Amino acid sequence: MNETLERWSSRRAFILAVTGAAVGLGNIWRFPYITGENGGAAFLLLYVAFVVLLGLPVMMAEILIGRAGRRSPMQSLGHLATQAGRSGHWRWLGLFGAFTVFCILSFYSVVSGWSIEFLVSAINGDFVGKGAAEIGAGFDAFLADPWRMTFNHTLFLAMTMTVVAAGVAKGLERLNNLLMPLLYLLLLVLAGHAATTSGFGQALAWLFTPDLSAVSPTVLIAAMGHAFFTLAVGACALMAYGAYMPDHQSLPRAAAGVAVLDVTVALLAGIAIFSVVFAQGMDPAEGPGLMFVTLPVAFADLPLGAFWLSLFFLLLLMATWTSSINLAEPMVATLQGWGLGRGQAAAAVGVAVWMVGMLSVLSFSTLADVRVLFGMNVFEWVTTIPPEIFLPIGGLFIAVFAAWVLPEPVALRALDAGPHGFRAWRGLVRWVSIPLTLVVLASGLI
């Protein structure tokens, strides 16, 4: 298979695209609920440390491979490995990545569907004047209604696959250019609004005063998994975007910019959410429903509550949309590499993800108690194991490939950061990221 000819139209477009991939449910839905479940500030501290020591260097490794290979992830890995005189079996890492994003997209689409439902409800003013019990019961009733859930899941996946089918320059790039700056603006407004609530001080204290005695292997694994998840690293999804990266752009600078933007979004979302949670005396450890239940409750009493809430769900939907197109890209690119047209590939991926996503839809009703996967139902499994185990494993192999297998001149050129920058990056990956990932994974398994 030959090199792809498509490129992002500019450096800015590439950074926006990677930020679009990184910022999503992970920052706005998953980060607050996982932080809530894992006790707050200590988790936050670990997560930021893992972003710096693992997420960021491995992100560079992943994009670098895509940029050096300029093919679909599977083909880039296979091609680069054989060129370096190594085994072509490295390409199976691309397939593992595709399997990981497949699992992730299957729940991603379902939860993003919730935000469509909630956006419509918020605009209709359905939550106005309602109390916690009533809103909680409404959410449970929604989850228990497979038809409404299916409708939203289908709609969201159709939105995603339509953009993906249109291709990089026309589809992904235009959407990213439009949505990302808007998203920042909205988040700043929401965080500013949070600062006026009575829970603001408590939220800051809870998020930023770590109690290190709360750290356990579970917390470590969760924090590491989340660092990979939030940066969209470990599933070869950014490798697919790296293949379209323009020549002459420093990769470390681009990646660091994205990481800063990504963590900022999570912090702003955390402040926005926990301020209202504490102002209303709610439970931060509520779980996956945290954002969906507490925010409507919190905003219901506030002046202009329906407006702020609609804005919030709009923002969430925009963020998840740009991430889900990134989740779909490696699968579509792989099928294209196997000879399918882009439209056909997008349709095939859409149908397959839709079917598996239905298992998550039904995990709240018919299949709620089908716990064949280590005591978890399908939704619990796909929201835990692929992010916390598959992504770090994928990231580990990506790091080994970039830092040990790729010949130095190839990696040096693709990183585009000069010899000193290259050596610093490779040293970090070889002697910090790889061992640290191994140690945390092992601690979790034991």
Q: How near is the Cβ of 47 to ligand PFF at its closest, in Å?
A: 12
Q: How near is the Cβ of 196 to ligand PFF at its closest, in Å?
A: 27
Q: How near is the Cβ of 387 to ligand PFF at its closest, in Å?
A: 7
Q: How near is the Cβ of 227 to ligand PFF at its closest, in Å?
A: 10
Would you say 280 or 336 has its CB closer to ligand PFF? 336
* Cβ within 8 Å of residue 243, ≥6 positions away: 4, 66, 67, 69, 70, 71, 72, 73, 76, 333
Q: How near is the Cβ of 414 to ligand PFF at its closest, in Å?
A: 19
Q: How near is the Cβ of 409 to ligand PFF at its closest, in Å?
A: 28
Q: Which of residues 288-317 bind ligand PFF (CB under 6 A)?
A: none
CA angle 332, 336, 337 (to 5 degrees): 115
Q: What is the CA radius of gyration of the chain?
A: 21
Binding string, residues 223-262; x marks residues near ligand PFF by CB under 6 A: ------xx-x--x-x-------------------------
Q: How near is the Cβ of 124 to ligand PFF at its closest, in Å?
A: 27
Chosen residue from 80, 104, 333, 403 binding ligand PFF by CB under 6 A: 104
Q: Does 22 bind ligand PFF (CB under 6 A)?
A: yes
Tokens at 360, concatenated: 């998550």
Q: Does 360 bind ligand PFF (CB under 6 A)?
A: no
CA angle 245, 246, 251 (to 5 degrees): 65
Q: How near is the Cβ of 237 to ligand PFF at its closest, in Å?
A: 3
Q: Does 15 bind ligand PFF (CB under 6 A)?
A: no
SS3 state at 337: helix
DSSP state of 247: S
Would you say 379 or 422 has its CB closer to ligand PFF? 379
Category of 125 on φ-ψ map: left (φ > 0), alpha (ψ -120 to 50) or beta: left
CB 153 within 8 A of CB 113: yes
Closest CA to 261 of 17, 22, 45: 22
Q: How many CB atoms lie within 10 A of CB 443?
A: 14
Alpha carbon 319 to chain centroid, angstroms: 10
Chosen residue from 72, 197, 326, 363 binding ligand PFF by CB under 6 A: 326
Site size toward ligand PFF (CB under 6 A) is 16
Would you say 55 or 136 has its CB closer to ligand PFF? 55
Would you say 26 or 36 has its CB closer to ligand PFF? 26
Q: Letter for the amino acid at 176? A: N
Q: Where are the beta strands (DSSP E) in 10-59?
A: none
Q: How near is the Cβ of 324 to ligand PFF at its closest, in Å?
A: 8
Would you say 27 or 176 has its CB closer to ligand PFF? 27
Chosen residue from 16, 19, 20, 26 binding ligand PFF by CB under 6 A: 26
Q: Does 398 bind ligand PFF (CB under 6 A)?
A: no
Q: Does 98 bind ligand PFF (CB under 6 A)?
A: no
Would you say 27 or 280 has its CB closer to ligand PFF? 27
Residue listed under structure tokens 């709009």: 314
CB 328 within 8 A of CB 101: yes
Tokens at 63, concatenated: 């994009």
Q: How near is the Cβ of 161 to ligand PFF at its closest, in Å?
A: 15
Q: Letter for the amino acid at 290? A: L
Q: Does 382 bind ligand PFF (CB under 6 A)?
A: no
Q: How near is the Cβ of 319 to ligand PFF at its closest, in Å?
A: 7
Q: Where are the alpha helices (DSSP H) in 281-304?
A: 295-300
Query: What pairs with residue 373 in β-bridges?
Result: 376
Closest CA to 53 of 228, 234, 216, 213: 228
Chosen residue from 323, 336, 433, 437 binding ligand PFF by CB under 6 A: 323
Closest CA to 119 of 279, 270, 321: 321
Q: Does 27 bind ligand PFF (CB under 6 A)?
A: yes
Q: Does 110 bind ligand PFF (CB under 6 A)?
A: no
Closest CA to 297 of 121, 129, 125: 129
- The window from 38-46, 134-142, 320-328, 367-375 that contacts ligand PFF (CB under 6 A) reads 320-328
Q: Which of residues 46-75 bind ligand PFF (CB under 6 A)?
A: none
Q: Does 25 bind ligand PFF (CB under 6 A)?
A: yes
Closest CA to 230 of 42, 55, 381: 55
Q: Does 322 bind ligand PFF (CB under 6 A)?
A: no
Q: Is 202 exposed, middle or buried (0-12, 13-18, 19+ CB in 10 A)?
A: middle
Q: Residue of minimal CB distance from ligand PFF?
A: 26
Residue listed under structure tokens 């992970």: 26
CB 329 within 8 A of CB 243: no
Site residues (vs ligand PFF, CB under 6 A): 21-22, 24-27, 101, 104, 229-230, 232, 235, 237, 323, 326-327
